[in-house]
């Protein structure tokens, strides 16, 4: 790897590690009765105390430091006075800017005990993301990623959201390439060693269609059925990949003990 790639990987490793640790902290407070704005406050403070910035805050007018997407919310839920209740599933998405580099990650959390249906959807979403990560190396195409996720998810009877995708990141929060979570093997751009991007599939219990609420951000399933999402920031290497946003405490997947 040349020096520029080393610098980008090292920068993203630092940012990604803070982002993952923020979610490890979030895990400590998720329980019935907690307001989503408490999650936001924790993320804001943890990220600041780590000498970093929260990238979502004021990004294109977004008002908060993380996204909290509960149940049928697909993504970009805005933290506020909503109270988490027993049986909810919630995605918390944080993006950290540290020394000029970004790390972007999200996980699902269970609020108390959740239904078998919620667990199946959550498990399938996580496994689909990890299956796609496992194939990563120089020369794999964007379509290979999408088709791996789509096949895995549709086999279980769930659907892949089309309206949002993963993205390159580095010095910018969102940049080329777009990483679609559906597609055909062998199609699309080839991934090259040194590329850094997210894989962040949003998987719906019912149909894949989404709509955005009047707040201009909150994306929901049109059919009001559940949606789940996980996100890792990854880097391509000649013979494989690096995941920059793994939990140092092994809390990547619920129920996080
Ligand atoms: N973190 C989200 C992503 O995965 C983007 C959030 S944009 C925000 O790309 F403005 F809603 F925060
Ligand atoms: Co992202
Ligand atoms: Co994100």
Give per-residue pLDDT as tens, 159-208.
999 999 999 999 999 999 999 999 999 999 999 999 999 999 999 999 99
**Test site for ligand 1: of 36, 54, 59, most ligand atoms within 8 A of the Cβ:** 59
Phi, then psi, of 238 in degrees rounded to 5: -55, -45
Instruction: Identify whether the C-beta of residue 118 lies closer than 8 Å to the C-beta of residue 226.
Output: yes
Which residue, 223, 231, 220, is CA-closest to 69? 220
- Ligand 1 and 56: CB distance under 6 A: yes
Give per-residue pLDDT as tens, 136-161.
999 999 999 999 999 999 999 999 99
User: What does the alpha-carbon distance between residue 128 and residue 152 come to, in Å, rounded to a whole number?
Assistant: 6
Per-residue confidence (pLDDT) for residue 255, from 0 to 100: 96
pTM: 0.98
**Test site for ligand 1: of 22, 67, 199, most ligand atoms within 8 A of the Cβ:** 67
Per-residue confidence (pLDDT) for residue 1, from 0 to 100: 52
Which residue, 202, 231, 250, is CA-closest to 16? 231
Q: Inform me whether the pLDDT recorded for 229 exceeds 70.
A: yes
Question: Structural domains in the chain?
Answer: 3-243 (3.90.230.10)
Give per-residue pLDDT as tens, 1-37.
578 889 999 999 999 999 999 999 999 999 999 999 9
Give per-residue pLDDT as tens, 28-63.
999 999 999 999 999 999 999 999 999 999 999 999
Give per-residue pLDDT as tens, 75-126.
999 999 999 999 999 999 999 999 999 999 999 999 999 999 999 999 999 9
């Amino acid at each position: 790897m040349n020096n520029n790639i080393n610098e980008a990987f090292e920068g993203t490793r630092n940012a990604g590690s803070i982002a993952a640790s923020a979610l490890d902290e979030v895990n400590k407070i998720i329980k019935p009765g907690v307001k989503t704005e408490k999650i936001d406050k924790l993320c804001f403070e943890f990220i600041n105390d780590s000498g970093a910035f929260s990238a979502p805050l004021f990004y294109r007018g977004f008002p908060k430091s993380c996204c909290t997407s509960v149940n049928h919310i697909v993504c970009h839920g805005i933290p506020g006075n909503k109270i988490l209740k027993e049986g909810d599933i919630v995605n918390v998405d944080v993006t950290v800017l540290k020394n000029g580099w970004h790390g972007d990650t999200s996980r699902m959390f269970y609020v108390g005990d959740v239904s078998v249906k919620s667990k199946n959807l959550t498990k399938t979403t996580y496994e689909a993301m990890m299956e796609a990560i496992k194939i990563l190396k120089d020369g794999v195409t964007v379509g290979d990623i999408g088709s791996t996720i789509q096949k895995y998810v549709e086999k279980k009877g769930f659907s892949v959201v089309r309206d949002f995708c993963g993205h390159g990141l580095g010095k910018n929060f969102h940049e080329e390439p777009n990483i679609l979570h559906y597609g055909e093997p062998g199609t699309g751009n080839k991934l090259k060693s040194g590329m850094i991007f997210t894989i962040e599939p949003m998987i719906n219990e019912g149909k894949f269609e989404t709509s955005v609420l009047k707040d201009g951000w909150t994306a929901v399933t049109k059919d009001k059925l559940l949606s789940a999402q996980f996100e890792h920031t990854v880097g391509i290497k000649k013979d494989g990949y690096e995941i920059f946003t793994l939990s140092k405490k092994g809390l990547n997947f619920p129920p996080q003990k």
